[in-house]
Amino acid sequence: MTFNQCTFIDHVGADAKLLTTGTEKTFLKFRLAVSDISGKDKAVLWLTVLVWNGERAEKLAPFVLKGSLVLVTGRVSLHAYTTHERKEKTELELSAQDLQCIAKPKPAAETAPTRQEPAVQATE
């Protein structure tokens, strides 16, 4: 018997992309930066996260933005591929079984706060 389930919580590296396979299956793809803050080097592990449930992927796409804090649980695997430059690469992929958006990205300093979102404004 084997068990492959991992849970990560950290920030999205770039806005998620809603993509379609050759068989017309819709899925969501994004990169997740998982920081190791326990050491002095503050190394970052980059994961490619895939949400294969098409309906869920479409609902989540507008919320999985660069800088968003997410909690994701799923099966991890190593994916090997060849780039357009014919270089062999590997990446860690997480096939998400559960994805929760915990916090929106922090607004840019030049962005004025909106009245629609008072909960994200800091209070003194």
pLDDT digits 0-9 by tens, 26-65: 999 999 999 887 766 778 899 999 999 999 999 999 999 9
Helices (H) and strands (E) counted in the chain, each on its own, are 1, 6
Residue 118 in domain: no
The reported pTM is 0.79
Residue 81 in domain: yes
Predicted confidence band of residue 111 (pLDDT cuts 50, 70, 90): very low
Residue 113 in domain: no
Q: Does residue 86 surpass a pLDDT of 50?
A: yes
Total number of domains constituting the chain: 1
By residue range, what is the domain housing residue 15? 6-108
Q: Let me know the angle formed at the C-alpha of 94 by 83 and 85, rounded to the nearest 5 degrees.
A: 5
Residue 87 in domain: yes
Position 107 scores a pLDDT of 79
Say how far apart CA 22 and CA 12 lie, in whole Å. 26
Position 39 scores a pLDDT of 63
Residue 117 in domain: no
Residue 13 in domain: yes
Residue 71 in domain: yes
Say how far apart CA 80 and CA 61 lie, in whole Å. 25
Which CATH number covers residue 83?
2.40.50.140
Residue 120 in domain: no
